[in-house]
């Protein structure tokens, strides 16, 4: 099969500084009947044209500056080809995946299915649960593949490897972080 994301790191985010809550801990493989939600990023068309349009509508020197597109116009530009849509939907249906919905731009398909189906659909994937405090998330620590014939129709599948994002930002305890970083404490002083 084809691995769309061979370079995607599988790594639960490192635990935050010691005074905070612990990081994600593995709590075992999920029941095969457990429901998972996967998002399929379908290959779009018109990326080059889209880049040209963005340049034109965002550059104050361009005569098209500020002439933005509607969502429907964006859809007409980027929506996947009928072949892509058919190939992906046929593949999903072939595995009994029927509970799916798309978005206006038709370039994402979101589907619900049991973990066992997802593991058959994406050979290599294995769904495990990770917990952090009250939060629980299901991810695959192993890389997934898709059939070769889908390589040109699918960018990636979401819901397997990347953990919920860590906030890049505010802290009211920078003084403690500073101790470890060798920087002078601020704020509290």
Partner 1 sequence: FHLGVTPSILRKRYNMTAGDVGVVANNSQACAQFLEQYFHQADLAEFMQLFGSSFAHRSQVDRVVGHQGRGKAGLEASLDVEYIMSTGANISTWVFSNSGRHESQEPFLAWLLLLSNMSSLPWVHTVSYGDDEDSLSLAYMERVNLEFMKAAARGLTILFASGDDGAGCRRVPGGNHTFRPSFPASSPYVTTVGGTSFKNPFLVTAEVTDYISGGGFSNVFPMPQYQAAAVGRFLRSAPKLPPGSYFNRSGRAYPDVAALSDNYWVVTNRVPLPWVSGTSASTPVVGGMVALINDRRLGRGLPPLGFLNPALYRLAGGGHSDAIYDVTHGCHLSCLDGTVQGQGFCAGPAWDPVTGWGTPNFPGLLRALLAP
**What residues numbered 80-99 form the site for partner 1, per CB under 8 A?**
none
Q: Among 73, 5, 80, 76, which Cα is nearest to 42's?
A: 80
Is 37:112 a contact under the CB 8 Å cutoff? yes
> What is the nearest approach in angstroms of partner 1 to the Cβ of residue 108?
6
Among 17, 27, 71, 93, binds partner 1 (CB under 8 A): 71
- Subset of residues 101 to 130 that bind partner 1, contact rule: CB under 8 A: 103-105, 107-108, 110, 127, 129
Residue 179 within binding range of partner 1, rule CB under 8 A? no
Q: For residue 134, with 0-12 CB atoms within 10 Å meaning exposed, 13-18 middle and 19 or more buried, which class applies?
A: exposed
Q: Among 97, 81, 91, which Cα is nearest to 149's?
A: 91
Query: Per the structure block, which two tokens stand in for 32?
Result: 């095969």
Residue 148 within binding range of partner 1, rule CB under 8 A? no
Neighbours of 13 (CB within 10 A): 13
Residue 172 within binding range of partner 1, rule CB under 8 A? yes
Residue 21 within binding range of partner 1, rule CB under 8 A? no
- In this chain, which stretch among 21-29, 81-89, 92-100, 181-189 interacts with partner 1, using CB under 8 A? 181-189
Among 22, 25, 31, 68, binds partner 1 (CB under 8 A): 68
């Amino acid at each position: 099969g084809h691995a769309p994301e061979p370079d995607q790191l599988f790594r639960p985010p490192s635990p935050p500084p010691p005074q905070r809550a612990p990081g994600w801990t593995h709590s075992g493989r999920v029941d095969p009947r457990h429901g998972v939600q996967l998002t399929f990023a379908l290959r779009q068309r018109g990326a080059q044209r889209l880049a040209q349009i963005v340049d034109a509508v965002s550059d104050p020197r361009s005569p098209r500056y500020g002439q933005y597109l509607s969502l429907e116009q964006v859809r007409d530009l980027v929506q996947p080809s009928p072949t892509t849509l058919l190939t992906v939907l046929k593949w999903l249906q072939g595995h009994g995946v029927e509970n799916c919905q798309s978005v206006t731009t038709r370039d994402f398909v979101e589907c619900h299915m049991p973990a066992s189906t997802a593991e058959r659909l994406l050979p290599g994937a294995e769904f495990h649960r990770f917990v952090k405090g009250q939060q629980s998330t299901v991810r695959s620590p192993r890389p997934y593949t898709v059939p070769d014939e889908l390589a040109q129709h699918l960018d990636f599948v979401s819901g397997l490897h990347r953990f919920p994002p860590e906030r890049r930002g505010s802290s009211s305890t920078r003084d403690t972080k500073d101790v470890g970083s060798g920087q002078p404490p601020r704020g509290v002083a």
